Structure 1
């Protein structure tokens, strides 16, 4: 009976003309990372709500240069072409100052605009006074700001005139739907992993220095490095590994697919993530969901995660020494037990249905459509 009611509701929604149309703006496909994954997962989660239709357009603002301007203008042209579709809400992912230009364009086109920041206090648009003031002025033109962490209140110049709401980020379904990782199946030597868009800012070279100090201390470990990078970065990483004699201890995996990435996280005990640039590092939550604890550099978002679920924070000034000393002072069983506890909390809080419900509520509030028909559908189905 419940199945028939659910089918009937789907038909009513499909034919009733009250579909909410969302346009997600953000990301650059030639620089895949956390924001791009967030856009893809948000689209998938929203489309599962039956009465929502979603389109995603990349803004192509990552590492913007004269050479890359044509891709940026292509994104602008795609947005302008959406006048015919008339989306109910344009949801912009704000990573850098050029992204904010899309707010002004969307407002000129008459669209409702919700903005989600994906940056912190150390990014140029927030750390430089003139740019910080400019970003706040442009953000004031949005209709709503949806934060993925309360710590962004401390880091980003958010105009008081714009309503704010809290949503959650989306972790990979491959991680959340799989059974919790069994740490008893792992080797008796600690399994370390560093996973990011490999770069100086992400702490990729600091990880090699930490590995070198662990080797000097005679501490047994195995480190995997996952993520994409340019050839110069890969060459520098491999050069450091060779110089420190770490070939038997460190493996460079390169960029991984979702399933392979999840598998490596599930086989790891500790994520080493000394990033200086992540406002709210998604990889930390992914690792915790896979029963891997985390060592992070001092940033508001990372500290919030560690305080909520476990792990360790090191200073930006002395990250290598502090991370090494902390690892040396932990037993493997302590790390694995703490990681199991973290996994329970993250999996509970970041369940996709909970995250999708919070996001839909924010979008409907921005649009002015308060009825959560997806919740009605779920109730009838149950």
Structure 2
């Protein structure tokens, strides 16, 4: 990005204002998500960079809005001044091109895509925007492959991460942590099958994440745990934030993520910020989040998604090979030093907004 585009000051010299459209659960502690956390930190970073941020929280079950939710969004957009830069969360924008398109010439619409919905409505909605912000290079490639978007209008602003003290780690490495909403695409059922295959080794697993988004899946997972005799070794503790989540990371030896799909995986960099190695699938943007230490070594292990045998094999290696644990911990602490904070993402987003206004 050119440096002059990052300035939020418009040509007339007054303060720049950006309007941000967010889903209604943005600050709900019962349903924390990477997307909501990203939006909140982006707003904070833009404000720190000099933008005046006007938030509009839209009611509705996004990305499955009913007629009332669509009308509420239409009302928000209609009330905004001509030429205003508007940053919209993709969960709100992508399913409703018919709401966005009437304002496409009047407003400077910028859509943040956390997780592509991958249907025709999304393509039409993104076509109505002057720019798109993707949260990973993998997401950008996915959008460009699927939709006829000009490449120069799709930008990448990867999530940042806050510095954190390194986790001490235990000698045996048996404290496993999974941080993810308990829903099918996060692969908890695959993780349980893998854990059952290494039940003879010493480990315990804490699963942090909302339990209310798919109650049927959670009920089935509990039955699966009971059937394998793992109900006392795998704890589903629900959502954790703040100090409680920090404590879970501090106690962890290994972050385990069995996702079937993932655009980036903020929990990966949150673990690496503490020097905690990662065992994850190679789904979507997870390899991008894992990255490499300065010496080129990977700070974790990647396995194919939906492959409990491969996941079990990697778990067995981690638990049974002290040399591997030492190697991966050293790599994770090296990767820890290379992670970007949130100012980088906010700088990119600010440049995109300023460019949208200039255009």
What's the TM-score bracket when you normalise by the shorter of the two chains? 0.7 to 0.9
Aligned runs of 1:1-382 on 2, under 5 Å? 18-29=14-25, 32-58=32-58, 60-62=60-62, 64=64, 66=66, 69-83=67-81, 88-95=84-91, 97-98=94-95, 100-101=97-98, 103-107=100-104, 110-120=106-116, 123-125=117-119, 131=120, 135-156=122-143, 157-158=146-147, 159-160=149-150, 163-171=153-161, 176-183=162-169, 186=170, 188-215=172-199, 218-230=200-212, 231-308=215-292, 310-317=299-306, 319-330=307-318, 331-332=321-322, 334-335=324-325, 337-346=327-336, 348-368=338-358
**1:329 is paired with a residue of what secondary structure?**
helix
Q: Which residue of 2 aligns with 1:373?
A: none
The alpha carbon displacement at 1:28 in A equals 4.3
Pairwise CA distance, 1:198: 0.7
Classify the secondary structure of the residue corresponding to 1:24. strand
SS in 2 for 1:296: strand
How far did residue 301 of structure 1 move?
A: 0.7
CA distance 1:259–1:333, change in 2 (3 Å):
farther
Q: Distance in 2 between matches of 1:295 and 1:17?
A: 50
CA deviation map 1:96-133 (0-9, x unaligned): 8415455325425x11112222225xx442xxxxx2xx
RMSD of equivalent CA atoms: 2.9
Would you say the 8 A contact 2:23–2:60 is kept in 1?
yes
CA deviations on 1:252-283 (whole Å, 9 max, x unpaired) are: 11111232122212321222211123222222
- Compute the displacement of 1:90 (Å): 0.8
Q: Which has the higher contact order (CA 8 A, sep 6+)?
A: 2
After superposition, the Cα gap between the structure-2 partners of 1:291 and 1:87, relative to the gap in structure 1 and judged at 3 Å, is farther
Which region of structure 1 is more displaced relative to structure 2, 294-303 or 229-238?
229-238
Equivalent-residue separation in structure 2 for 1:243 and 1:182 (angstroms): 33
Q: CA deviation at 1:178?
A: 3.0
Aligned residues: 332
Distance 1:249 1:38 in 2: 32
Q: Which moved more, 1:39-48 or 1:294-303?
A: 294-303
Structure 1, unaligned stretches of length 5 or more?
A: 1-12, 126-130, 370-382
State the 1:286 CA deviation.
Answer: 1.7
CA contact (8 A) 1:19 1:53 kept: no
Q: Which moved more, 1:200-209 or 1:46-55?
A: 46-55
Q: 1:51 to 1:232 in 2, by over 3 A?
A: closer
Note the C-alpha offset of 1:145: 2.1
- Measured in 2, the distance between the counterparts of 1:114 and 1:63 equals 17
Change (3 A) 1:168 1:154: closer
| Structure-1 separation of matches of 2:53 and 2:24 | 21
| Residues in 2 aligned to 1:81 and 1:139: alpha-carbon distance in whole angstroms | 21
Give the superposition deviation at 1:298: 2.9
